[in-house]
Structure 1
Amino acid sequence: MTTTTPSDVRPDPPHSPDDRSLAEFGYRQELHRSLGKYASFAAGFSFISVLTTVFQFFAFGYAFGGPVFFWAWPAVLLGQLTVAACFAELAARYPISGAIYQWSSRLSNLTFGWFAGWIMVIGQIVVVAAAALALQMVLPAIWSGFQLVGADPAPTSTDGAANAALLGVVLLALTTLVNVLDNRVMSVINRIGVTAEIIGAVLIVVLLLTHSERAPGITFHTGSAAQSGLFGALLVGSFTAAYVMIGFDSAGEMSEETHHPRRTAPRTILTALGAAGLLGGLIVLGGLLAAPSLTDGHLAVDGLSYVLTSSLGDGVGKVLLADVVVAIAVATLAIQTAACRMLFSMARDGRLPFSARLARVNARTGMPTAPALVVGVLAAALLLLDFVSPEAFLAIGTTCIVMLYLAYAMVTGPLLRARLRGRFTTTGTDETGAPLFSLGRWGVPVNALALLYGLAMAVNLAWPRAAVYDPAGGHWYFQWFTVLFLGVTVAAGVAYRAYKARTRVTAEAVAPA
């Protein structure tokens, strides 16, 4: 007997070995498995998005750290590489969407894992909003007509903050549409965007270094910009690097859509972070060396956009800035996709409000539509804070970093405990028969460093520095925004779980014997 498949359904091959791997964890293949090695790399690289994040936070790092803030970059890169190495092991062992939630649940318990996933998905939604805000650092520098609100494009001004929110909402509408269409369309856009970003980043590095105005030794100076001494300058300057080098785990988030995920995801996690770390560090260095002036105030306000247009000329500079716009759009798309997969994974286990709807996958597109709409709407709502005060720009950016760092620690912590108790091994083979990625005897020391680094950086980022979060004064809630937002997130999670537990007990009590 023969069966027919509706023309609008594109099922995966029925005998895919990757599907059998997913079945081992009790799930059936619903998302379309169509991503190869480069697409997996693009998922991680586009989330990090060097051009988006460096252009967005370079001015901030320089304003508080001066040239010496460059040295926070290699320190953060080394710390994040320890985290990425741990995640690479987990991606090989647990190739499932909703990576942070799935990994933490299996290394600890369902409750702890649920909170890791809850904090991660809320953090990802905030990151989507923060990434969309980056357009304000670039579009008005290309053409003044993109300044739709007022005349001052600086994101720290009232006009700039409001305009950033407006541009961000438009971008979110477009990325939400793509996240509803088809995962193959999304993958093509992602790969083209990442390729353009890498080419643009390399060109920016080469052009900046060949237009140097000073020697690299300038990076050992704090300059007049540093407001709290060398150590303080490095701590606050590390915000830029910390914001850039997050999201490499998204290659693991896309495991259920990747061919040979046990082999591919670990390598692309490390490759994406390594490539982004190298390119980003060189861009920061090139910007410091090529800036027309380190003391005229432009670098601490306009950042790298000022360097490109001033040092390379309006023509070349604006072409490169256009490439940055592409990178920002693709980054926002990738981050939203990662958040959608986290929502889908938790909803599939029945662990979120409206789980049945959030876990539904469109058979034709292979995309979970409801999560895309939820992430887009909530991220757009966060952007409205920019209409309240310009300080919201920094508050949103820092909050998302802290939440992701905490979620990462909720994986590296249980993983370290499992190692010490001998409950975590990486024996086995990937889809090609090769041994799974493993740190071997370096597992415990690397894991310990990853946990300590993550916790220390989370405290550093969340510390309520008035000079950083409320420079104008009078907005205490922005100074404490990160702590307050995290507290509300955890409280909401506790309340939801208590409600679910109470309704379950009630349902059991009224059930017929």
Structure 2
Amino acid sequence: MTTSAHHPRASSADEEQLAALGYSGEFERSMGLWANMALGFTYLSPLVGVYSLFAFSLSIGGPPAIWWIVIVGIGQLLVALVFGEVVSQYPLAGGIYPWTRRLWNRRYAWIVSWVYIWAVIVTITAVAEFGGGFVAALFSVAATPGVVLLTAVGLLVVAFLANVSGTRTLARVAKIGLAAELIGVVALGLYLLLFRREQPFSVFFDAMGAGGDEAYLATFLAASLSGLFLFYGFEACGDVAEEVSDPTRRIPKAMILTIVVGGVSGLLSYAGYVLAAPDLQGIVDGENADPIPGILESSLGTVGSKIFLVVIVTAFISCVLSLQAAGSRLLYSFGRDRMLPGSRWLAHLPERNAVPINALIVVSVLPMLICLFVFWRPDTLARVTAFAVCGIYISFQAVVLAALRQRLRGWRPAGLWNLGSWGLVVNVAALAYGLFAIYLLIRPGDADAFLDRWIVAIGVGIVLVAGLLYLAIARPDRHSDGVPEGDAIEVAAHLQQIRRGAGNAPSSTVPSEEIR
């Protein structure tokens, strides 16, 4: 094993575990617990999630839609606990790709990661597009398609420049984004709750006519997006595992903190806006599709709302930054294992700043191209983003399923952070929740047109079929024979040996040559 000289903070234990997994340290381990949590939190971004879906979810399910934040938060916490055990044993850059490879095999990992990377790229596009409207509002410019395109591209460029500056800059901006998020969701949410309340708390048990004469259960299920769109991004904590010191302990904690703090923040923010809305019935009836600026104006005044828009734009930049970081590490990990065309180029890691610049270019340029397509066809933004969240949830459950498969074969996670005897129960519960969430995302909508009713299923189907065809015809996995796969049980045993001070890694655990 070799470790570059510019990694002074890499502990021998961190690098010993990395060597046992077949890799040498190339990144700078300059990210601590709070920076790692900030990265996941700004990717999850309760501010972006609540602002993007507030009016939409209220118009579908009324004020009780807020309870989806609680339901989905608990479900995703189960998923995060499973992820915590996996990343503690496999603290590798790229997250979902190396986890699924080592828990199942390289072909399974390839198709799961194919779905995930496209979902991330589309999500980057969507966040940049949504953020463009707030940038326009900040400068009092009409949010025309041309303005939104320019501001979206601007957000992508600013985030890219911050990312290529190195892991330390990424950590600093993520912390700034975390502060902006907490001000934006917690501080303002509490202010609205305490001083600007227009509605009684009982409103959260009043549908206010949402769903019409239909049974409210169906209406409530349709409003699930208010929670489902909010609770992902915690996996980004694991995407940068090789840039975190003591990752086997810190990353699981960062994931859990991301879910808990993000959930409480989102709940406070959503509740604050509902209770401070002067005309809540109008929002529920769909008469006001963008109520938050009006609520801000009435609560904070013109100057206050402008200051708050600065906070919002900061949060959007940080969210794009975190998304780019997560997507680039996945592409880097793919390239390092020679699983894609141009793998050597994607896996290039300059020593000066130790970030995968070429992979960052890909996850910045492709969203720009999609932004151009949205500019040409503005009505397609909702359609191209509809599959993204479902694709991410499918990728999550692919990890949960692979972990359960290994457990049933005898795997006992050997990371320094694990659930012990509760692991199997949590794993089964996480899978059951995940399948329910995927059903909620993929179920047909209420639109009359076939395409609009089944848009999520169609989007996922197109990406899956394209990926499977490419995998079958081009066999991108054939160049990656020397990299371990499906070795969870063997690695767990080997890590236990290391901690007992016994022996070296068995040959099946470490490739014949270090992967660079």
Shorter-chain-normalised TM-score: which range?
A: 0.7 to 0.9
**1:340 partner letter:** S
TM-score of the two chains, using structure 2 as the length reference: 0.86
Are 2:238 and 1:252 aligned? Answer: yes
Identity, in percent, stands at: 32
Q: Name the structure 1 match of 2:461.
A: 487
Closer, same or farther in 2 for the Cα pair 1:493/1:285, shift >3 Å? same
**1:47 partner letter:** Y
Distance 1:84 1:23 in 2: 25
Q: How does 1:293-332 map to 2 (within 5 A)?
A: 293-297=279-283, 300-332=288-320
Q: Name the structure 1 match of 2:472.
A: 498
> Which of residues 24, 37, 40 in structure 2 aligns to 1:41?
37
**2:172 partner letter:** V
Moved more, 455-464 or 41-50: 455-464
Give the 3-state SS of the residue equivalent to 1:338 in structure 2: helix
Q: Name the structure 2 match of 1:357.
A: 345
**1:450 partner letter:** A
Q: Name the structure 2 match of 1:470.
A: none
Closer, same or farther in 2 for the Cα pair 1:504/1:263, shift >3 Å? closer
Q: Name the structure 1 match of 2:197.
A: 212
Closer, same or farther in 2 for the Cα pair 1:440/1:14, shift >3 Å? closer
**For the Cα contact (< 8 Å) 2:91–2:247, is it kept in 1?**
yes
**For the Cα contact (< 8 Å) 2:44–2:232, is it kept in 1?**
yes
Distance 1:47 1:311 in 2: 28
Shift of 1:422: 2.0
Are 2:267 and 1:281 aligned? Answer: yes
Q: Name the structure 2 match of 1:449.
A: 429
Distance 2:387 2:477 in 1: 32
**For the Cα contact (< 8 Å) 1:243–1:398, is it kept in 2?**
no
Deviation per residue, 1:136-165 (Å, 9 max, x gap) = 4533443432x252xxxxxxxxx5xx6434
Give the 3-state SS of the residue equivalent to 1:80 in structure 2: helix
Q: Name the structure 2 match of 1:402.
A: 390
Q: Name the structure 2 match of 1:90.
A: 86
Closer, same or farther in 2 for the Cα pair 1:236/1:88, shift >3 Å? same
**1:238 partner letter:** S
Give the 3-state SS of the residue equivalent to 1:244 in structure 2: coil
Give the 3-state SS of the residue equivalent to 1:271 in structure 2: helix
**For the Cα contact (< 8 Å) 1:197–1:323, is it kept in 2?**
yes
Moved over 6 A (4+): 502-505
Distance 1:489 1:399 in 2: 9
Are 2:93 and 1:107 aligned? Answer: no
Q: Name the structure 1 match of 2:250.
A: 264
Shift of 1:106: 1.5
Closer, same or farther in 2 for the Cα pair 1:232/1:133, shift >3 Å? farther
Q: Name the structure 1 match of 2:180.
A: 196
Q: Name the structure 1 match of 2:418.
A: 438
**For the Cα contact (< 8 Å) 1:392–1:478, is it kept in 2?**
no
> Which of residues 367, 370, 393 in structure 1 aligns to 2:355?
367
**For the Cα contact (< 8 Å) 2:137–2:143, is it kept in 1?**
no
Deviation per residue, 1:102-143 (Å, 9 max, x gap) = 111122222112212221111111111111122145334434
Closer, same or farther in 2 for the Cα pair 1:148/1:242, shift >3 Å? closer
Closer, same or farther in 2 for the Cα pair 1:221/1:284, shift >3 Å? same
Closer, same or farther in 2 for the Cα pair 1:12/1:200, shift >3 Å? same
> Which of residues 413, 423, 443 in structure 2 aligns to 1:426?
413
Are 2:17 and 1:30 aligned? Answer: no
Give the 3-state SS of the residue equivalent to 1:144 in structure 2: coil
Closer, same or farther in 2 for the Cα pair 1:136/1:173, shift >3 Å? closer
Distance 1:415 1:269 in 2: 17
**For the Cα contact (< 8 Å) 1:35–1:187, is it kept in 2?**
yes
> Which of residues 414, 433, 438 in structure 1 aligns to 2:402?
414
Give the 3-state SS of the residue equivalent to 2:250 in structure 1: helix
Distance 1:447 1:242 in 2: 19
**1:38 partner letter:** W
Distance 2:422 2:321 in 1: 35
Distance 1:164 1:230 in 2: 37
Distance 1:449 1:229 in 2: 28
Deviation per residue, 1:442-485 (Å, 9 max, x gap) = 22222112112112211211223143xxxxx76x5454433233
Closer, same or farther in 2 for the Cα pair 1:47/1:341, shift >3 Å? same
Moved more, 83-92 or 313-322: 313-322
Closer, same or farther in 2 for the Cα pair 1:99/1:412, shift >3 Å? same
**For the Cα contact (< 8 Å) 1:292–1:311, is it kept in 2?**
no
**For the Cα contact (< 8 Å) 1:32–1:366, is it kept in 2?**
yes
> Which of residues 443, 446, 471 in structure 2 aligns to 1:463?
443
Closer, same or farther in 2 for the Cα pair 1:504/1:176, shift >3 Å? same
Aligned residues between the structures: 472
**For the Cα contact (< 8 Å) 2:339–2:476, is it kept in 1?**
no
Distance 2:22 2:222 in 1: 45
TM-score of the two chains, using structure 1 as the length reference: 0.86
Distance 1:180 1:477 in 2: 39
RMSD: 2.3
Deviation per residue, 1:191-222 (Å, 9 max, x gap) = 12212321332211121102111111101122
**1:167 partner letter:** T
**For the Cα contact (< 8 Å) 1:107–1:418, is it kept in 2?**
yes
Distance 1:500 1:119 in 2: 17
Distance 2:451 2:373 in 1: 12
Closer, same or farther in 2 for the Cα pair 1:235/1:386, shift >3 Å? farther
Closer, same or farther in 2 for the Cα pair 1:91/1:397, shift >3 Å? same
**2:180 partner letter:** A
Shift of 1:19: 2.0
Q: What runs of 5+ residues in structure 1 fail to find an aligned partner?
A: 150-158, 429-435, 468-472, 506-513
**For the Cα contact (< 8 Å) 1:412–1:447, is it kept in 2?**
yes
Give the 3-state SS of the residue equivalent to 2:417 in structure 1: coil
Distance 1:502 1:441 in 2: 38
